[in-house]
Amino acid sequence: MSVFFLLGAVLVPLIGSFFCLLFPRKVREGWAIGIVALSFFFLFFLISPIIQGKSVQADILSFRGEYFSFSFFADGISLIFALVFSFIGLVALIYSFPYMAEYENQREYYFMTCLMIASLIGVSFSRNLILFYVFWEIAAIAVWRLVGFYREEKIVWIADKTFLMTFLGSSFMLMGFTLLYIQSGTLDVVQLKGATPPLVNTALFLIFLGIIAKSAILPLHTWLSDAHPVAPSPMSAILSGVEVEVGLLGFLRIFVWMAGVSWNWILTLAVVSSLIGAGAALLEKDIKRIIAYSTVSQVGYILLGFALFKEMGIIAGLLYFMVHAVAKAGLFLGAGVVERKYKTRDITRLGGLMRTSPVFGIGFLFSVFSIAGFPPFGGFYAKLMVIMSAVKEGHLWIATLAIVAAILTMLYLFRLFNGIFMGKEVETKVESAPPGKLMIGCVVLLGIISLAIGIFITQALGLPIAAVAEIFK
């Protein structure tokens, strides 16, 4: 039965997404939520065997020579990412119902959103590196269309830039996969685990270029801050909450799990990316650009945990991936509520929202606390574990810079919250439908989950600990 649930989690949203092009509006919205919710439901049936240290494999089609196989592989790493991808996608779709109601091209919106979620789940479970690449590129195409959703000339240019930068990186990645195949004769990640072909470092470097382009790590990060302000807010929640972090999955699966390689210079790149992202966020006034640069910073933090290549660091990275995905989605969905209410994203022209929407303000604040790393929120434990792991491994200056990045994160996030919610109330400038209870409810839900992860930290660490045990056994 585990094989059935694994295949269902991937194929239901993948195949079901195409029906979004056929159904009328009322059916289409419910259908989109239904297929993603069903995929999320299927994933729960994989938790028990994986917690017990088992893996689940499903082979549908393979070609002679092992250069391609339509096969899937579920372990702790892939299940954590797939659960987060599907959950954030589900919340974003629910939020989309009132948010997207007034816009055209909804057939494409729901089709591309469901397709992107399905492709991210597909990346998580892909056992073959070419299949991994195919799903990776499907997600990139969906992002391209959704970033350019509003169709204005400047927006389309930004969407093209987003696609071209990530495609450039993925082209290098494909070259790396090709080199691995030439050297080893297979692209099956299970067969490649522990293998050391002669040019493995060259192949891994090419693959790493694809990873940093997708994850908006310096110096290939510039597309993200441009894409967020022009994309629909539910798309931003998926883009920062899960899409950019699929690159981190690639690093963890290929570098840490498969090859057992982590270069020290990646630690420097990760912490510098975190610092520069935080510094840029501190200077911005546009809500979405602040949160976008925050993503650059926090993804650097997660990469730092993974690149330490030690149990504590990887567990911390996985925990912070979960924390960041939930809380960052809450911030972007909150930005959509603010923009819908005031028709501006400039924090110098906002204020006083806590007086009129205290529940919304508290939900948003919970997400702020989580990413800022305040106890008892999950972000506190994750950041503390990353810093402790760096110190334990003798990287004192890396740990020091990570602390500085954490302090900068607190500063720009409280500046963001203060600009929106505190001070004198500004005049509402609603010209279209005001933000409804469903939109605010999604923000509050994600804020509550951000708090719950910290309160129930022992339970939240269950899957990450099982996943890391698989890596080092």
Q: What is the pLDDT of residues 423-456, one digit of tens each?
A: 777 665 555 556 678 999 999 999 999 999 999 9
**Measured between alpha carbons, how far is 287 from 335 in angstroms, rounded to an integer?**
7
Please tell me the predicted confidence (pLDDT) of residue 120: 94
For 58-75, write each residue's pLDDT tens digit.
888 777 656 788 899 999
**Measured between alpha carbons, how far is 247 from 299 in angstroms, rounded to an integer?**
10
Please tell me the predicted confidence (pLDDT) of residue 426: 66
**Measured between alpha carbons, how far is 402 from 412 in angstroms, rounded to an integer?**
16
The residue type found at 273 is S
Please tell me the predicted confidence (pLDDT) of residue 413: 94
**Measured between alpha carbons, how far is 76 from 64 in angstroms, rounded to an integer?**
29
Please tell me the predicted confidence (pLDDT) of residue 46: 93
| Radius of gyration over every alpha carbon of the chain, rounded to an integer in angstroms | 21
The residue type found at 98 is P
**Measured between alpha carbons, how far is 37 from 329 in angstroms, rounded to an integer?**
17
Query: CB-based contacts of 102: which residues, under 8 Å, 6+ apart?
Result: 432, 433
**Measured between alpha carbons, how far is 448 from 364 in angstroms, rounded to an integer?**
10
pTM of the model: 0.94
First-to-last C-alpha distance (Å) of the chain: 26
Q: What is the largest distance, in Å, between two alpha-carbon atoms of the chain?
A: 68
**Measured between alpha carbons, how far is 187 from 52 in angstroms, rounded to an integer?**
27
Phi then psi dihedrals of residue 215, to 5 deg: -90, 5
Residue that is written with structure tokens 């970033």 in the block: 147
The residue type found at 243 is E
**Measured between alpha carbons, how far is 259 from 420 in angstroms, rounded to an integer?**
46
Helices (H), 72-221: 76-99, 106-125, 129-147, 153-184, 189-192, 200-214
Cis peptide before 219 (omega within 30 of 0): yes
Cβ contact 302:451 at 8 Å: no
Q: What is the residue-level pLDDT of the chain in tens, covering all 473 positions?
A: 789 999 999 999 999 999 999 888 888 989 999 999 999 999 999 998 998 888 888 888 777 656 788 899 999 999 999 999 999 999 999 998 888 877 778 888 999 999 999 999 999 999 999 999 999 999 999 989 888 888 888 888 988 988 888 888 899 999 999 999 998 888 888 888 877 777 788 999 999 999 988 887 878 777 777 887 888 888 888 877 777 888 899 999 999 998 888 788 999 999 999 999 999 999 988 898 999 899 989 999 999 999 999 899 999 999 999 999 999 999 999 998 888 888 888 888 888 888 888 999 999 999 999 999 999 999 999 999 999 999 999 999 999 999 999 999 999 999 999 989 887 776 655 555 566 789 999 999 999 999 999 999 999 999 999 999 888 77
Structure tokens at 124: 């998580």
Please tell me the predicted confidence (pLDDT) of residue 221: 76
Helices (H), 284-377: 287-307, 311-342, 353-356, 358-372
